[in-house]
Amino acid sequence: MNLKKLNPFQVYRGLPRPVYVLFAATVINGMGIFVYPFLTLFLTRKLGYSVARAGAFMLCASILYVPGNFIGGKLADRIGRRAVLLVSQTLASIAFLFCGFLGDSPLVPGLIMVNLFFDGAADPARSAMMTDVTTAENRQSGFALNYLGHNLGYAIGPLVGGFLFYRATGLLFVGNAVMGFLSILFVVLF
């Protein structure tokens, strides 16, 4: 029996270094997204929103991701993927950093909306960068690895978020911002 056929990670070997850098940045960024599953709890328990109002807010805030995505994609084509990724991810992280220090302030929902807009703007640049650093032969493996990075990050993040929500809610936002900054730093350095 051929052991290479049994190794599911074999498909990810031999990819260009920037693919692994984007994978690591995606895992880091995904781990930092632990605040999102807890936003409705934050709005209802910390800010006193009704369930209906929190749901309506989350719908409106999530919709902001779409124009951010379109604008980010257009800017990535015009001024460059890396610049759009770095600026958008930085602005999204700054918005959550402020949330972490504002506590139960009524300004927090507005900053959540700012974060979602800029998070949406960062995604097309990240995907375009993946296309730029792969070839037709390894593109499928590169995107599969990136998708795996999202899933790994999203699997770990909510565990951390659940712990922080009940012990130090402000750290939910600060932690998300720190992970966003680490993701940016990783892309800049490598």
Pairwise pLDDT comparison (14 vs 52), residue with the higher score: 52
**pLDDT at 2 exceeding the cut of 90:** no
User: Rounded to whole angstroms, what are the CA distances from 17 to 9, 21, 23, 147?
Assistant: 16, 6, 10, 17
CB 33 within 8 A of CB 115: no
**pLDDT at 3 exceeding the cut of 60:** no
Average pLDDT taken over every residue of the chain: 88
**pLDDT at 91 exceeding the cut of 70:** yes
Using pLDDT thresholds of 50, 70 and 90, give the confidence band for residue 74.
very high
| Residue 111: other Cβ atoms inside 10 A | 19
C-alpha span between 138 and 127 (Å, rounded)? 15
What pTM was estimated for this model as a whole?
0.85
C-alpha span between 43 and 64 (Å, rounded)? 18
Write down the pLDDT at residue 36. 78
CB 64 within 8 A of CB 113: yes
Write down the pLDDT at residue 182. 87
Identity of residue 77? D
Dihedral angle computed from the Cα positions of residues 77, 115, 21 and 158, in that order, rounded to the nearest 10 degrees: -140
pLDDT one-digit tens code per residue, 95-154: 999 999 998 899 999 999 999 999 999 989 988 998 998 999 999 999 999 899 888 888
Q: What one-character DSSP code corresponds to residue 186?
A: H
Write down the pLDDT at residue 30. 81
Which of 90, 123, 97, 124 shows the shortest CA–CA distance to 111?
Answer: 97
**pLDDT at 5 exceeding the cut of 70:** no
Mean pLDDT (whole number) for 46-50:
93
